[in-house]
Structure 1
Amino acid sequence: MVEIFSKRDGPRREDVQVKRLIEQNRGVITKLADQLSNGRYSELRKPKPKPQAGGLIIHIGDGEKPNPHPEPRVRVTANGRVVAVDIESGRQLKHFGDIRERGGTKIFILATSANGFIAPLDDDEIRLLADVDGVAIGPCYSNMELASDIGQRVDIPPET
């Protein structure tokens, strides 16, 4: 003969008995837990106070607005990019080109689409800076002199 066990609704009889036993002995269990944990058990079960706003800095988000008129400077970065940056925020405003090494010498490559740049300079700036494209950088012509020459041509002072 085959017996079919079907799942009953509600908890099992054994589970109900164990829960009742635990609830009847809750005081003894808590006392033992506190004794073993040096009172930490009851301490952790207490509700924690909510944090108070006293002494905290609350930032709403409409703080200082960016300067609408940036003060640009021409800078040669450590990785060889020649850019115009806002002197206050340090934010890049324009990318003029890169200093790359070709054949053992460092040369300036102007940011044009012909040189493979994704965001090339506009035509007026290319005309102003065309003669510095491909110039060699070395002991007789430094990064600072390049930044100064580019700055003079586009009316942006170099970073000092």
Structure 2
Amino acid sequence: MVEIFSKQDGPRREDAHVKRLIEQNRGVITQLADQLSNGRYSASKKPKQVPQAEGLIIHIGSGPKPAPEPEPRIRVTANGRVIAVDVGSGRQLQFFGEIRENRGVRIFRLATAANGFIAPLDGEVTEALADIDGVLLGTAYTDGDLALDIGTRLEIPPEIQGAYG
């Protein structure tokens, strides 16, 4: 034998009974809630009155603050990228090139189209750093020295803590 239950209109009999029971005992439930919460239950149900200030004119500033001027530093990253970063946010501002290793020799390659970079540097920066392109890095000339040279030529202080070597 198969019994078919179909959804009826309105609340179920059990739900209506429980709702009625709660409504009949609302006073006792509120009293118990106040007793357990030290009166905070009834206090939370009361509407809160916001004091109205009279005669005050409140003026909110004229929009968002302008972004602070970036403070660039030259950094040589652990994977050999030579970049300028903002000290405050840590965001990359400019990419100068990378240190490539070929047969145990580390060479700095400037980000130019001739060196195979997709986004080459602009003309002024390329001219300022042209003689550093292809420089060998080792014990005599370290990553920190490279960052210092680039920073000196572009008038950007290096971030020696980020350099390795």
Residue 3 and residue 63 in structure 1: after superposition, are their counterparts in 2 closer, same or farther (change >3 A)? closer
CA distance in 2, matches of 1:148, 1:3: 86
Deviations for 1:97-151, whole angstroms, at most 9, x for unmatched residues? 1223433343212112343433222356445544422211122113343234445
Q: In angstroms, what is the RMSD of aligned CA positions?
A: 4.4
Is 2:100 aligned against 1:100?
A: yes
Deviation at 1:14, TM superposition (A): 4.2
Superposition pairs for residues 76-91 of structure 1, below 5 Å?
76-79=75-78, 80-84=80-84
CA distance in 2, matches of 1:133, 1:51: 68
Is 2:66 aligned against 1:64?
A: yes
User: For 1:42, what is the secondary structure of its paired residue?
Assistant: helix
The 8 Å contact of residues 148 and 157 in structure 1, kept in 2 or not, is answered as: no
Equivalent residue pairs, number: 148
Deviations for 1:3-39, whole angstroms, at most 9, x for unmatched residues? 987644322444333322221111223334555x454
In structure 1, give the amino acid aligned to 2:120: P
Deviation at 1:84, TM superposition (A): 4.1
Aligned match of 2:136: 136
Where do 5+ consecutive residues of structure 1 fail to align? 53-57
CA distance in 2, matches of 1:20, 1:51: 36
Taking structure 1 as the reference length, what is the TM-score of the superposition? 0.58
Aligned match of 1:159: 157
Deviation at 1:157, TM superposition (A): 2.2
User: For 2:108, what is the secondary structure of its paired residue?
Assistant: strand
Taking structure 2 as the reference length, what is the TM-score of the superposition? 0.57
The 8 Å contact of residues 96 and 110 in structure 2, kept in 1 or not, is answered as: yes
The 8 Å contact of residues 108 and 134 in structure 2, kept in 1 or not, is answered as: yes
Where do 5+ consecutive residues of structure 2 fail to align? 52-59, 159-165
Residue 72 and residue 19 in structure 1: after superposition, are their counterparts in 2 closer, same or farther (change >3 A)? closer
The 8 Å contact of residues 97 and 110 in structure 1, kept in 2 or not, is answered as: yes
Superposition pairs for residues 1-160 of structure 1, below 5 Å?
7-35=7-35, 37-39=36-38, 42=41, 46=45, 61-67=63-69, 75-79=74-78, 80-84=80-84, 92-122=92-122, 125-126=125-126, 129-151=129-151, 155-159=153-157
Aligned match of 2:55: none
